[in-house]
Amino acid sequence: MANKKPQHVTEKRKPRILWANLYCLLDTSSGASSTIRQMLKQLTKAGYEVVVLGATVFDHPQGTQLFQSMPKVVEEDGKLVKIQDDSLTHQLIVTKSTYRSNISATDEDNWHRQYIYLLDSFKPDIVWFYGGQPLELLIADEARARGIPSAFYLANGNYKSPRWCRDVDLVLCDSQATSQMYRETVGFVATPLGKFIDSQQFIAEQHERKRLLFVNPSFEKGASVVIQLALQLENTRPDIEIEVVEARADWQQILEATTTKLGNVRKSLSNVIVTPNTSDMRGPYSRARVLLAPSLWWESAGRVLPEAMLNGIPAIITNRGGMPEMIDDAGIKFDFPEACYEKPYHHLLTGDELNPLVEAVTAFYDDEQHYQAFVERAKHVGLSKHHISVSTKRLTDALAPLVAQKAGNKDFRVPQRKQHKHRLAGTAAKPKLSSEMAVPSTSNTAKQVIKVSKDPKPTLDFDWQLTSNVVVLDNRAKLIKTGVAEKLANTKAFTILAFDPASEVSKPETYQGHEHIQLFQHALLGDGQPTKLIACLDAALSSPLSPLPEDALPKHRRQGAKVLAQLPINTIALDSIEGLPSLDWLILDDLR
């Protein structure tokens, strides 16, 4: 008779973590996604088994950069694709839109069914996630029903309601300041970890040390302050260049809105170089002398700060949130007037209020001994506080008590029956979501082949007979922004005229000379006469019409409907568009 192991003895195995979140961790416009992605890679190196479940949802279309070489992905609506990313495999539900607010209930259901299946098949020891919308509440709820502890990552100051953490066992954050703020304002305790920076992607080998660097321009991040600084330096120190690296927001739009408010609209500044969103920051850091981070909202930590420290680059920051602890003594901290810290963060500084910032910048250029002293401090802070081995140790220590429970070894049906009102339990079947395609890895060194369910396609009992193209007029470029325009154009049956009044389309040069898509930027359909665009905080709400009074708007629209500026804009009459024989499909904006 064969020897049997006692039932209480289990095979030694790796601790298992399931990262579950709709947002894609390959998003280059999201600091939180970049941080979590690196944290998970560090856990795989530390001996963890990690599964990543996400979707094709991004903070901003510019964050889809890593998908540029994966055109087939966007054609797989509703399917599950797998992308190899070094030691991580990303399972992604392909959604109809990259915007969270535009995805469908079917998209969310597909994701949730795959999540339930992974809980029951992968049997993780910990479920880890972030986000505070209803679907995220179900993540922790489903884990708790199975007796699986959950962890939550928090890197901003927006989670003031107690509901989102009701079922969460461990809250992780990036700074001591954020942990203290939540302890005082809400009452829960978050464990600070710091940031996770991969030296291969973010630390430059050589440093020219010539430019001021500003990353992710937005009003919240202090773009209006940087514009005022640039205008001053343009006159007094034209030798000092500012490099702006775009991420989510549009520098051009912010520049025009701010300079309009200053009384002299500008479309460019002679001392500002704009760099598009990039997944490799070594270039900008190699050129940087000083990092500018004048954030005006609650900045939990600011990923660019530890990145700068690891590059030996001093920083000029506002004394907000967790930023001071990120740079320690390796930079200059400013306290601006309280009005600067109020939404929508458009307050303009007086000359006297701006001068100390100008002086701090010029001192880093004119006093080399002063500058080098800060460089050495930055290097020390980088190695002692932000080296990835230090942060990884904090993370594994924080997760250890949850891992020790070995929840994945348990029979999930037992806790399910205890919580179920009718004492029921179940095991999820595998959803039919997989798709057959070869997807390049992010390192371009391998391909992941995904098996497909061969569901029969519906057939039609008649054929379309089109004698000419279907002419589409899209009054807000919605088809382009959601990725539908290219699909329609590829059929060669559609001609699309798209108006982009608020310049929301990224990479408009893509459509220059396009055979089937014509894009009109900063223009509206009209009578051909110039008019004014009422620019709002939320670009999607910008319009020639003034917003409704605040008390007539729903609460979730009031902040975005705040007017920034009135900008001149051209209108185009239909009969002035060359080669337009007819109009078959008119798409109007549903917010007007």
Is the CB of residue 23 less than 8 Å from the CB of residue 64?
no
pLDDT in tens, 343-396: 899 999 999 999 999 999 999 999 999 999 999 999 999 988 888 898 999 999
Q: At what angle do helices 223-236 and 251-262 cross, to 10 degrees?
A: 70
Instruction: Establish if 1 belongs to a structural domain.
Output: no
Query: Could you tell me the two tokens for 107?
Result: 């998209």
Beta pairing partners, 531: 569
Most confident of 297-301, 376-380, 444-448, 581-585: 376-380
Query: Could you tell me the two tokens for 531?
Result: 């008019």
Instruction: Establish if 49 belongs to a structural domain.
Output: yes
In terms of Cα–Cα distance, which of 10, 5, 103, 112 is closest to 54? 112
Mean pLDDT, the chain, integer = 85
Q: Do 370 and 416 reside in the same domain of the chain?
A: no
Residue range(s) defining the domain that contains residue 228: 202-385
pLDDT in tens, 459-469: 334 444 555 78
Instruction: Establish if 372 belongs to a structural domain.
Output: yes
Query: Could you tell me the two tokens for 341?
Result: 């810290």
| Torsion angles phi and psi, residue 415, rounded to 5 | -65, -30
Q: Which of 362, 385, 408 is where one domain is finished?
A: 385
DSSP-assigned letters across all residues of 23-35: B-TT-TT-HHHHH
Instruction: Give the Cα separation of 266 and 225 in Å (integer).
Output: 15
Sign of the C-alpha dihedral computed for residues 349, 354, 357 and 362 taken in this order: positive
Query: What CATH number has the domain bearing residue 409?
Result: 3.40.50
Instruction: Establish if 465 belongs to a structural domain.
Output: no
Instruction: Give the Cα separation of 302 and 321 in Å (integer).
Output: 9
Out of 154-158, 391-395, 427-431, 567-571, which region has the weakest mean confidence (pLDDT)?
A: 567-571
Instruction: Give the Cα separation of 517 and 351 in Å (integer).
Output: 47
Confidence label for 578 from pLDDT (cuts 50, 70 and 90): low
- Please name the amino acid found at residue 376: E
Instruction: Establish if 2 belongs to a structural domain.
Output: no
Confidence label for 76 from pLDDT (cuts 50, 70 and 90): low
Q: Do 222 and 323 reside in the same domain of the chain?
A: yes
Q: Do 222 and 357 reside in the same domain of the chain?
A: yes
pLDDT in tens, 289-327: 999 999 999 888 888 999 999 999 999 999 999 999 999
- The distance in angstroms from the start CA to the end CA of the chain is 79
Is the CB of residue 552 less than 8 Å from the CB of residue 532?
no
Give the chain's domain count: 3
Query: Could you tell me the two tokens for 450?
Result: 């995904």
Contacts of 177 (CB under 8 A, 6+ apart): 300, 301, 321, 322, 324, 325
In terms of Cα–Cα distance, which of 521, 487, 516 is closest to 579? 516
Q: Do 228 and 102 reside in the same domain of the chain?
A: no
Per DSSP bridges, beta strands 16-20 and 470-474 are unpaired
Query: What CATH number has the domain bearing residue 221?
Result: 3.40.50.2000
pLDDT in tens, 499-533: 887 777 877 777 777 888 888 877 777 777 788 87
Integer angstrom CA distances of residue 147 from 120, 165, 334, 413, 418: 12, 16, 47, 9, 10
Q: Do 481 and 519 reside in the same domain of the chain?
A: yes
Q: Do 441 and 545 reside in the same domain of the chain?
A: no
Q: Do 531 and 498 reside in the same domain of the chain?
A: yes
Q: Do 377 and 301 reside in the same domain of the chain?
A: yes
Instruction: List the 80-85 sheet strands across, edge first.
Output: 80-85, 88-93, 49-55, 16-20, 126-129, 150-154, 170-173, 191-192
Q: Do 269 and 350 reside in the same domain of the chain?
A: yes
- Please name the amino acid found at residue 181: M
Instruction: Establish if 456 belongs to a structural domain.
Output: no
Q: Do 506 and 530 reside in the same domain of the chain?
A: yes
| Torsion angles phi and psi, residue 467, rounded to 5 | -90, -15
DSSP-assigned letters across all residues of 269-292: -TTEEEE---S-THHHHHHEEEEE
Q: Do 344 and 215 reside in the same domain of the chain?
A: yes
Q: Residues 332-337: contacts with CB within 8 Å, 24+ apart?
A: 332/360, 334/294, 334/360, 336/225, 336/294, 336/296
3-class SS of residue 256:
helix
Instruction: Establish if 180 belongs to a structural domain.
Output: no
Instruction: Provide the whole-model pTM.
Output: 0.65
Residue that is written with structure tokens 């919240």 in the block: 220
pLDDT in tens, 254-266: 999 999 999 999 9
Instruction: Establish if 138 belongs to a structural domain.
Output: yes
* pLDDT number for residue 7: 42
Q: Residues, the chain, total?
A: 592
Q: Do 240 and 381 reside in the same domain of the chain?
A: yes
How many C-beta atoms surround the C-beta of residue 493 within 10 A? 13
Per DSSP bridges, beta strands 437-440 and 447-450 are antiparallel
